[in-house]
Structures are given as structure tokens and as C-alpha cells.
Structure 1
Amino acid sequence: MASGSAIRGSRVGAGPMGEAERGDAAPRRRVSYWCANRHETRPSFALDAQIPESWDCPRCGLPASRDADNPPPPPKNEPYKTHLAYVKERRTDEEAEQILQEALQQLRERVARGEIIL
């Protein structure tokens, strides 16, 4: 049998419910944003708040703008680049060949001096 002093349907620290007890909500305005997938998002902002130019679509995650006819394009995903790909961007094949020959020459000299045993 439950205790007779329990307050049912409430939680500890809960106050009275309703606008009258909490005060009036701040005046707000809803702003529409559209993404490239034509999803419309309508977040609300306080009247005196600065409205952002873009907003992330909660349905697909793409950026959205306030222009329904010209939404921002989806961001381009750059593929993962290896270290070799970055090196090839900085060096020509001729430069790479020259660096390789210099490294081989230094290695041969160290082998000739006995610093390295192959």
C-alpha cells in the first residue's frame, strides 16, 4: 500500500504550471530557412535578436539559407589525401628524381665508409 502523504503526478521542486505563474514569454518571430533538399526549417528568435544568415537543416544536416529559390549548395567533401599525394602536389617528377638520387648517393657513401652494413 502506498503512503498517504505522497504527492501524485508531480516531481520534487515542481512549481505551479501555466503562463500566469511563470510570466509572459518573450516576443518571438519565426524565420524560414531552406536547404538544397528543399527542407524548410522555421526556428524562432527573439524580436531583438540578430537573425543568422544560415542555419543547419535538422533533417539532413545541410546548410540552409533564407532564400528559398537559391539555397546554399551542399559542402564538397574532399577525399582523404595520403602523405604521398601532398608531396606530389609540391614536387615535380624531376625534383623527386633529383632528391632520390641525392639520398642514394649519401647512402652509398655511408656504406663505403662502413657506417652502414647491408
Structure 2
Amino acid sequence: MAGGNAIRGSRVGAGPMGEAERGEAAPRMHVSYFCASGHVTTPAFAADAQVPETWDCPRCGLPANLDSENPPPPPKIVPYKTHLAYVKERRTDAEAAQILEEAVSALRARRAAGEVIY
């Protein structure tokens, strides 16, 4: 059995709803953006706002633009390169073998001189 002072169908702090109480909404325009996956996104902008050229598709994350015939291509994904991959771009196998031989001979000379190498 409910108490006599309960407010039903509303929450605390709720006021009257409706456009008359809130004021009129600002004029808006809807702009369609097209991505390479064929998705169409239509965000709303203020009527006097500057519309951006590109927009990220909320469904697939690809960039979208205003041209339905020529949507922007997906960005090229560059694979992660390790340090060794960058070194191999700069040095040939012959240069790497020469550098390794120089380093090994330097270590052997230090050991022959009695230096402790960890």
C-alpha cells in the first residue's frame, strides 16, 4: 500500500516537459556523409554552422565525406616495424657481417688483455 505523499510517474526534480516550457529549438540542418563501406551518416548541425568536409563513420570508423559517388578511400595501414627491420633497411647483409666481425674481434681483444666482460 503506497503512502499518501508519493509522487507517481515522475522523478525528483523533473519539471514540465514540452517545447513551450523549454523554449524553441535552434534551427538545424541535416548533412549526409558517405564512407567507403557504403554507410550513410546524417548528423544534425546548427543552421548557421560551418559544415566539416569529412566526418568519421560511427559504424565502421572509416572517414566519410559529402560526395556519395567518391567516398574517401580507407587509410593505408602501415605495419609495425621492429628495430631490426629498420636496421636491415639501412645495412646490407655484407655490411652487417663486417660490423659483427669487428665487434667480435674487439671483444676478443679485450678478453685477451684480461678485462672482465659481462
Deviating above 6 A after TM superposition, structure 1's stretches of 4 or more consecutive aligned residues are none
1:116 matched to 2:116? The reply is yes
CA distance in 2, matches of 1:109, 1:4: 97
Measure how far apart 1:91 and its partner are: 2.3
Aligned residues: 118
Kindly provide the amino acid, as one letter, of the partner of residue 99 in structure 1: I
* Alignment pair present for 1:13 and 2:13: yes
Q: Deviation at 1:117?
A: 6.4
Partner Cα separation in structure 2 for residue 65 and residue 54 of structure 1: 5
Structure 1 unpaired stretches of 5+? none
Comparing 99-108 and 20-29, the one that deviates more: 99-108
**What is the letter of the counterpart of residue 36 of structure 1?**
A
> Could you tell me the percent identity over the aligned residues?
74
Q: Deviations over 1:20-61 (max 9, x none)?
A: 000111111010100001111100101121211111111211
Give the letter for the 2:105 counterpart: Q
Amino acid at match of 2:27: P
Q: Paired residue for 1:102?
A: 102
TM-score, normalising length: structure 1:
0.89
Q: Distance in 2 between matches of 1:77 and 1:4?
A: 65
Match for residue 87 of structure 2? 87
Displacement of 1:98 after TM fit? 2.8
Structure 2: runs of 5 or more not aligned: none
Counterpart-to-counterpart distance in 1, 2:87 and 2:69: 42
3-state SS of paired residue (1:34): strand
Deviations for 1:55-108, whole angstroms, at most 9, x for unmatched residues?
111121111110111101111222222221121122233332232122112111
